[in-house]
Amino acid sequence: MAKVLVQTFGGVVKTIDADSPAQIAEQLGLGTDNASITVNSKKATLDETLREDDFVSFTTHKVTSGN
């Protein structure tokens, strides 16, 4: 497992051991339906392979309403 830095929805950065963003979401109990995931500032998927010292961020997709 890789030791990575994780920031969730603008919160405090944490260090977590995980192999993929999906494992992080599971460990932290995060919903991923409306989440945008980045690894080292690049868009990522839930099954992306993480490396030691990667920075993973979960943010909320912008919600737009139609008029």
DSSP string across 8-63: ETT---EEEEESSHHHHHHHHT---TTEEEEETTEE--TTPPP-TT-EEEEEEPPP
Q: What is the pLDDT of residues 38-53, one digit of tens each?
A: 999 999 999 999 999 9
- Segments making up each domain of the chain, as ranges: 2-60
Q: What is the pLDDT of residues 3-58, one digit of tens each?
A: 999 999 889 999 999 999 999 999 999 988 888 999 999 999 999 999 999 999 99
- pTM score of the predicted model: 0.87
Burial of 56: CB neighbours in 10 Å, binned 0-12, 13-18, 19+: buried
2-60 adopts what CATH topology? Answer: Ubiquitin-like (UB roll) (3.10.20)
